[in-house]
Amino acid sequence: MASLTKIMTSKTINVGVGEYAVSLHPGDMIKTQGLGSCIGIVAISKTSSFAGLLHVQLPESSINEELAARKPGLFADTGIPLFIDEFLKRGCRPQDIIIKLTGGAQIIDSVSSFNIGKRNYLAVKKCLLALKLWPVAEDIGDCLIRSVSVEVGKPEVTVLIPGSGSKKI
């Protein structure tokens, strides 16, 4: 009598600056590295094994509409609607989406003349609010570089800060 063994392997999905990824496969790990002033937006479905991550670099597409057309995920105002639409297309309602935010640090601009981390954070919150979404957890600001990961099928997000360890939000 022959036995069949099916081995399920999880995969790691790396998200670059201005990119997003979503997965329906429990165990898949979605991650991004080097969140300085950028914002990592993690979305997790409450009702199914579905999660995603968007790595936003800049607040508003109006600064470079041509670039926004080619790479909408770079900007909060163009990337977030596309990212959240991936959930809506799969039957998630806004109230079924858990949002967690990381990043928004004050990295390059030591005299705070541009405040890009804060501007990114405010633009992200504005876009989320327009979509009737609000973050349930955040690890935002300071002068820290962060990496973030989410395992599909699990509600927590892991934030890694080099030299300081990791924490769950």
Question: Which residues belong to the active site?
Answer: 38
Which of the 8 DSSP states describes residue 6?
-
Element (H, E) at 79: helix 76-88
C-alpha 102/C-alpha 122 separation (Å) is 13
The phi, psi pair for 14, rounded to 5°, reads: -95, 130
Q: Could you say which DSSP state residue 90 is in?
A: T
Overall residue count recorded for the chain in this entry:
169
What is the phi/psi pair of residue 129, to 5°?
-60, -40
In the numeric block, which tokens belong to residue 8?
């399920």
